[in-house]
Structure 1
Amino acid sequence: MSQKQLSETEEDTRNFLLHLPVFDSFDTDELTLLAKHMSYVHLQRGEYLFMEGDKGNFMGFVVQGLLEVMKKSDTGQNIVIARLTKGNSIGEMALIDKSPRSATVVAKQPTTMVTLTDKGFDLLTERSPILGVKVIQKVARLLSLYMRRTSSRLADLMQSDPNL
């Protein structure tokens, strides 16, 4: 595949994806095709990527910056549950279940992300079903990893406070 077919943005996206461990088994042609279905999002400090309850229609990877992930407690207070920096992903469940967002995400400093919308994923899968399956496998692995981490944290919390 000729590099002339890529726009500068698509080439930047592909080069970013090349350095993400989640895509380490993808070859250059696969990353080129994936990059053609992704786009950049730029957030200013204090700007929301999405709010808890919003429609989930994209996932993304932090290129630079800092995001905070917040979840509403039973008392209505926003609790920071994660901080995301370069290379971290967010919104993976949106590609799987298209359910409303389970948390709120805000930029704590100017942040750039590369995103894959559900429509972009559907187009990618139409063009290359095998690549679509590979992406879903990677997303499933990410979700599995996050679930294992969350289970470990929950076990630690339950050990320290049996009333949970």
Structure 2
Amino acid sequence: MRAASRAATRSSDERVWPCRLPRTRGRGRFCSHCAASRPSRVGRLAVRWVQGFVSVCEECGLVAHEDFLSRVPIFANCTPDEIAAVSGVAQDSAFAPGQIIVTQGTPGQAFYLILSGRVEILRDGTSLGAFGPGDFFGEMSLLDSAPRSATIRAIEPTQCLMLSSWDFKALLEKHPSIAVKLLEVLSRRLRVADERIGR
């Protein structure tokens, strides 16, 4: 009777497992071939959960970027769809204290919006002030590659949203209206700056 029971158990094992399991003492039996060929359902669910979590985090990041961009004066006239398009090509950039972000005299290649931290503005080695969260610099580089008028150096750990001039120009091919709105805002800013200088 016992022999028949053991035989039935063995035949049952052979039906469930495609390869023969070695007998081991301790917590049970292990077959690396079976483990590799039969990924656990829990493992697959875990992978899907992580992928979903990453997707949600990325979406939250994009929403936060759109919120920041919508408050920047040069994008003030843009529609939500246009803001979303700009946010889609912008990149996060981190800078350590003392790190140079842009150098005076070099061609402008990107626009920066400060998300956190502080930066110092230097012209010919003289400090002109500092920028903090919500401030931005390099906006003219979105239109041309004129030399930078000042050096920008991180004072503390700083996180910026960066929009390169080439990504922005590629974006304008799909959303040309952004360029018109940007020019309108920049022209007003330049006019105000000229009036202040003339006083």
TM-score, length basis structure 1: 0.75
Structure 2: which amino acid aligns with 1:28?
Answer: P
- 94, 110, 131: which is aligned to 1:42? 94
The residue aligned with 1:133 is 180
Q: Quote how far apart the aligned CAs of 1:100 are.
A: 1.8
The residue aligned with 1:98 is 145
After the TM superposition, list the runs of 4 or more consecutive aligned residues in structure 1 that deviate by more than 2 angstroms.
Answer: 6-12, 18-27, 135-149
The residue aligned with 1:86 is 133
Q: Quote how far apart the aligned CAs of 1:25 are.
A: 2.9
Deviates more, 1:14-23 or 1:124-133: 14-23
Residues 30 and 92 (structure 1 numbering): CA distance in 2 closer, same or farther, change over 3 Å?
same
Residues 117 and 139 (structure 1 numbering): CA distance in 2 closer, same or farther, change over 3 Å?
farther
Higher relative contact order, structure no. (Cα contacts within 8 Å, ≥ 6 residues apart): 1
- 56, 76, 81: which is aligned to 1:24? 76
Q: Aligned equivalents of 1:82 and 1:144: distance in 2?
A: 22
**Structure with greater strand percent:** 1
Q: Quote how far apart the aligned CAs of 1:116 are.
A: 1.6
Is the 1:59–1:91 contact (alpha carbons within 8 Å) kept by the matching residues of 2?
yes
Is the 1:67–1:85 contact (alpha carbons within 8 Å) kept by the matching residues of 2?
yes
Larger CA Rg, structure 1 vs 2: 2
Q: Quote how far apart the aligned CAs of 1:118 are.
A: 1.0
1:110-121 equivalences in 2 (<5 Å): 110-121=157-168
Question: In the alignment, does 2:176 pair up with 1:124?
Answer: no
The residue aligned with 2:18 is none
**Structure with greater helix percent:** 2
Is the 2:105–2:147 contact (alpha carbons within 8 Å) kept by the matching residues of 1?
yes
User: Could you say what the CA RMSD is over the residues aligned between the two structures, in angstroms?
Assistant: 2.2
Q: Quote how far apart the aligned CAs of 1:70 are.
A: 0.5
Q: Aligned equivalents of 1:110 and 1:59: distance in 2?
A: 18
Residues 47 and 143 (structure 1 numbering): CA distance in 2 closer, same or farther, change over 3 Å?
farther
Indicate the percent of aligned positions where both proteins have the same amino acid.
Answer: 24
- 46, 61, 64: which is aligned to 1:12? 64
The residue aligned with 1:60 is 112
TM-score, length basis structure 2: 0.63
- Structure 2 unaligned regions, length at least 5: 1-55
Structure 1: which amino acid aligns with 2:121?
Answer: V
Residues 70 and 118 (structure 1 numbering): CA distance in 2 closer, same or farther, change over 3 Å?
same
Residues 22 and 95 (structure 1 numbering): CA distance in 2 closer, same or farther, change over 3 Å?
closer
Q: What per-residue deviation string (whole Å, max 9, x for no partner) do you get for residues 64-85 of structure 1? A: 211111011xxxxx11113111
Deviates more, 1:89-98 or 1:63-72: 89-98
